[in-house]
Amino acid sequence: MEDYNKVIESLGVRYIKAKNLVLQQPFTVRNYYDVGNNLILLHKGRIAFGDEEQTVEEGEMLFIPGGRATKVSYGEAAGKTITNDDLISNKDKFFHSNADLDLIGDAEESHSHVSFEAKVFDSVNFFASLDVPAFLITGNSKLANLVIKVVEESLQELPGRERLITIYTENIVVEIVRYILKNKMFVEQLATNSTYFKDPRLIDLFNYIKENIGGDLSNKVLSSVANVSEDYVGQYFKMLTGINPQDYIEYQRMERAVFLLRTTKKSIRDIGKEVGYKDTAYFCRRFKMMFGIPAGKMRRRESAMNI
């Protein structure tokens, strides 16, 4: 348990957004994807997920780890099947965003969701690193209440709003980790994550990659940071994290690119260079391959989501 306490204490949590949404028409998105983690609380109606279309009952929650593509269906009827790209571009056709506090939980075919980051040492996407599928959370009224509190705070301009949202979001992350531990889910993956704390050289690598995301991050450079041989550094990194270092670096670069696309007006060319890609065309190809949509559409994502 001590290792898990260390994992929780190391997590840097960042709130991204929260919404209460009312379904406009039934549909299925075959490859729902987001870089942030999403916790969805179903108030009324029907949601199903995964290839086996597991049903989320009213009052239950669906957790979709960041970086994990998932099939999600909304509504009783099958409806049309769309891509994640279609959902981002036309979300107002499928959902209405409710801003009335009195209607939260009462509207038919409605759900609330909170999107957030949770990173070990502000570097590793914790839930993505578990490499687990979307899963159902049942019988947890405390977590459901936290989702509603975050949504309610997000809809009001009250003193202390940001502080409370931060506190509630951090509580959400702790409750999800506790749920995983209580139900003995993903035990092997959690044990792997605890190795982050058993070798300080790995932490040095995380920090170096984060601080030099646009620079030379070849295995030769990483080997000097970790003080291991160039031939061994890839094996060493994968042994402790379960992922190839260059794959990890590309994901970190793309996450940084998404952040810059959402929060700055820098050109796609400049963003590509800033995260380590000299060839803009190659950056765009890799971006679309990873996220399923062009970088330009990702830039419009926030305005499309904030319907």
Q: Which of the four CATH numbers 2.70.98, 2.60.120, 1.20.1630, 3.40.50 does domain 1-190 have?
A: 2.60.120
Per cent of the chain over pLDDT 90 is 63
- Judge whether 227 and 4 are in contact, CB under 8 Å: no
Query: How many C-beta atoms surround the C-beta of residue 46 within 10 A?
Result: 17
pTM of the model: 0.80
Confidence of residue 307 (pLDDT cuts 50, 70, 90): very low
Q: Using alpha carbons, select from 64, 75, 51 the residue that is nearest to residue 113.
A: 64
Would 1-190 and 199-300 be classified into the same CATH topology?
no
The domain segmentation of the chain, as residue ranges, is 1-190, 199-300
For residues 197-219, b (16+ Cβ closer than 10 Å) or e, as one string? beeeebeebbebbeeebeeebeb
Mean pLDDT, range 65-86, rounded to an integer: 88
| Residue pLDDT, tens place only, 182-231 | 998 988 777 766 666 677 888 889 889 999 999 999 999 999 999 999 99
* Lowest mean pLDDT segment, chosen from 32-46, 204-218, 235-249: 235-249
- pLDDT value for 60: 98
Per the prediction, the chain carries an average pLDDT of: 89
- pLDDT value for 301: 57
199-300 is classed CATH 1.10.3720.10: no
- pLDDT value for 201: 87
Amino acid at 293: I
Mean pLDDT, range 94-122, rounded to an integer: 92
